[in-house]
Amino acid sequence: MADLAANSGRKYQGNPVKMSYDVGPNLEVFAGQAMIAGANGIVNATPGAGADFIGFAMEHVDNRNNVEPHNGANRATTAEVAIEGYVWLDVDNGAAITFDDIGLQVYATDGNTFVTAAGSNNVPIGKIVNVDAAVVGGANTEEVCVRFVAVAN
């Protein structure tokens, strides 16, 4: 997978805690995108040592260059972000997902790819708290419920 190119219908379990953040320069944010802290506002999650997970964008915001009304400027607009809660994500475990995987740390490798392998540049986002019983023991990538907390991972 890669960063989102359209809004995602992320499934949240309950109501996530939300907060508004300034959006970084020349960036289009799609609902459902995993976001990290940047020097000039939130940006799409990218691998990087020490990157801080902010949460999941809850709305579409277009702050690209030459797009009115923001024209890509640093912090010209804000986006609402889910900073804490439970979300169902497709996570690659490298092996079949089982109930024994509850408690595993989940990492973002970009704004829409999630794995359980630590990797030196993967961004920690939360832990597996539930698995879909209908698909347990199937493929390496399955939908699991992840408890996420911004920055505090």
Strands 41-44, 11-22: pairing kind: unpaired
Residues with Cβ within 8 Å of residue 104, at least 6 apart in sequence: 93, 116, 127, 128
Is it the case that residue 35 has pLDDT exceeding 60? yes
Instruction: State residue 49's pLDDT score.
Output: 64
Instruction: State residue 133's pLDDT score.
Output: 64
Is it the case that residue 8 has pLDDT exceeding 60? yes
Nearest to 153 by CA among 8, 7, 36: 36
pLDDT in tens, 63-96: 888 788 888 888 889 999 999 999 999 999 888 8
Share above pLDDT 70 across residues of the chain, in percent, rounded to a whole number: 92
Is it the case that residue 135 has pLDDT exceeding 80? no
Instruction: State residue 153's pLDDT score.
Output: 42
The H-or-E segment that residue 137 falls in is none
Instruction: State residue 138's pLDDT score.
Output: 59
CA distance 143 to 136: 9
Instruction: State residue 10's pLDDT score.
Output: 93
Instruction: State residue 42's pLDDT score.
Output: 78
Burial class (CB in 10 A: 0-12, 13-18, 19+), 73: middle
Q: What does the radius of gyration of the chain's CA atoms come to, in whole angstroms?
A: 15
CA distance 103 to 99: 9
Is it the case that residue 44 has pLDDT exceeding 80? no
